[in-house]
Structure 1
Amino acid sequence: MMIHHYTSVKNLSLILKNRTLRFGRADQLDDPSEVPFRTDRLGPHRFFVSSWCQGLRGEAGLWHRYADRDHGVRLSLPRMPFDWTRYAVEFSRMCNIHGHMKKIGVKILDVVMPFGEETLFGNGYMVTPTWTDLPNAFGAPVIYVDDPITEAAKTVVVDGERLTIHGDSNRLARVKGLAWSDQDEYRFVLSAIGGPKLDYAEDPARYREAMMDIMESGAKIGFDKFHPDVPAIFVPFGANAFVGMTVTLGPQISTEDRIMVTQLVHDLAPSASVVESKLRTRIRPSGVTS
């Protein structure tokens, strides 16, 4: 299955140079009703999304909205673009929580995730695995429904202070209203909590101690507002992510940008191909719309 991502030439340059994919926090996406479930513990501020398309349905609108008003590019990939790591991470300590000694910490055993420890333990956040079968659940189509709130209730149930999640909570970030269905969207979704504002690679032990400090404080307030304040998470592409990639030039891309994109792909993703869009749009004078 091919997946497609519309973006600007500037963002393409960052993607190729840094070999990372940006996951934006769901409460900053175009649709203000993203993640139709909101409590202090769980809501759009906990999810990070990278949006793609399964096909070319709604192509004209996608070029205009997400690819710099027809002046950008479309990336097309033939496979999941990440490398997978099997984790065996565990650290904890005993803490006094309201007069009771409790163990707090992190335990991730025999879970496969599409990134390494430096992404799992990020500066200002920690990714939280939500499902054991991530290779088959990390990326999935968006679910378009007439009533997103009712659909979300199939995954999360609130009973007083009790929060029950049925299945993969990342499904909440794939529920949208029917009005958006022309985008035929395919999403990669991460869930995260707030973490230390430290570089994990510089001192893993210090990071882990700081993470447990944050978790102890969270336990004392029931983990309310226990979410990251970073606007995005950047996930590295896999070693072979760009093999077989196609970069399609926007219908109104400038001559200068066409040359730049061709050179970028040649230098940074030589196994990829650059093609022209089959969509044709009329060039209008500045400020003129129809």
Structure 2
Amino acid sequence: MRIYHYTNIETLALILKNKTIRFNRLDRVDDLEEGQSECSGIKIGQYLFVSCWTEDSEESIPLWRMYTDKGVGVRIGIEKDMFKTYTYNDGDVINGVTMEGEVKTLLSPDMLAMSDLFIFPCFNDGVFYRNMQYVPNLADALRNAIIRNSNGSFNFELSKLGAFKNSRWAFQNESRFVMNIYPKPSSISVGDEIFATWLCSVFNQGIPNTIKYYDLDLDISALNSIDITLCPNMSKGNKILVESLCKTYLHNVVPKDSSLTNIVNLK
């Protein structure tokens, strides 16, 4: 299945050059209500990192206008399973964790070796990828997403975190990828007994995250099958820029004109 992302030319250039997709922290996105939402007193937005897409193949005038600098942008189409997979063998020890059996994950060795972050390693649909649910009251929808237990521990329903937006955003028809990333002292390994205690203290004390974004590696075959649609009223000069990026970084990908060309003028 192909999914779509509306963005500007600068971001397209970075995606193609670095072969990565950027996940932005939820408390820094354009939906301020969602970004500042709380669950059991926890401002969860700083620990959630999202990459926002849509499964709607029909071009969206609102999305063109909101996310492409009014004519200086593109729509990217790519397979949903776009990220590079890494394989680890039984007995491999990475950042204090011993792999049991063959493990396939989207986390590179460099990611797993990061000593000051904990990336929750779950990439199943429903947790990593989900279609957004649009609700009249965001606080009600998130009410039981995190339950604070009497002993100071927490129960998380990960499929609910980063899954809801107010109904006013329904026009986006959004689907998104979500990563859970938490700060961690370099002196504590994920395999240590004290790790769970530390993670609870992150939530109890509201310990701030240390990063604003995270980049995940793209699979080369998925990248080479990308399609790029030009904004409806793109100038000739910007079209040349996009064509040059495609020639430099992609194989046999030619950007196509929007189906809305000569139909809408984005001002």
Contact 1:125 1:230 in 2 (8 A): no
**1:58-101 Cα distance to aligned partner (Å, 9 max, x none):** 71110111111232011001341112234566578xxxxxxxxx
Shift of 1:227: 4.6
**Root-mean-square deviation over aligned CA pairs:** 3.0
| Cα separation, partners in 2 of 1:255 and 1:82, compared to 1, 3 Å | same
Shift of 1:37: 3.0
1:1-290 matches, cutoff 5 A? 1-34=1-34, 36-38=37-39, 43-56=44-57, 59-87=60-88, 109=100, 112-122=104-114, 124-129=116-121, 131=122, 134=124, 137-160=127-150, 161-166=152-157, 169-195=158-184, 210-212=187-189, 219=197, 222-223=201-202, 224-279=205-260, 280-282=263-265
Contact 1:90 1:109 in 2 (8 A): no
| Cα separation, partners in 2 of 1:218 and 1:274, compared to 1, 3 Å | same
- Specify the SS of the correspondent of 1:274: coil
Aligned residue in 2 for 1:199: none
Task: Tell me the TM-score normalised to structure 2 length.
Answer: 0.82
- Specify the SS of the correspondent of 2:83: coil
- Specify the SS of the correspondent of 1:273: coil
- Specify the SS of the correspondent of 1:21: strand
Contact 1:58 1:182 in 2 (8 A): no
Shift of 1:145: 1.5
| Cα separation, partners in 2 of 1:150 and 1:136, compared to 1, 3 Å | closer
Contact 1:194 1:227 in 2 (8 A): yes
Shift of 1:182: 0.7
Contact 1:85 1:112 in 2 (8 A): yes
User: Partner letter of residue 255 of structure 1?
Assistant: K
Indicate the percent of aligned positions where both proteins have the same amino acid.
23
| Cα separation, partners in 2 of 1:90 and 1:283, compared to 1, 3 Å | closer
Structure 2: 5+ residue stretches without partners: none
| Cα separation, partners in 2 of 1:134 and 1:178, compared to 1, 3 Å | same
Task: Tell me the TM-score normalised to structure 1 length.
Answer: 0.76
User: Partner letter of residue 282 of structure 1?
Assistant: N
**1:124-183 Cα distance to aligned partner (Å, 9 max, x none):** 533122x4x6267422211112222222234322344342224xx153112111111110
Shift of 1:3: 0.5
User: Partner letter of residue 71 of structure 2?
Assistant: D
User: Partner letter of residue 84 of structure 2?
Assistant: D
What is the distance in 2 between the residues matched to 1:46 and 1:235? 16
**1:3-57 Cα distance to aligned partner (Å, 9 max, x none):** 0011110111111011111100011011112264345766111110000111046
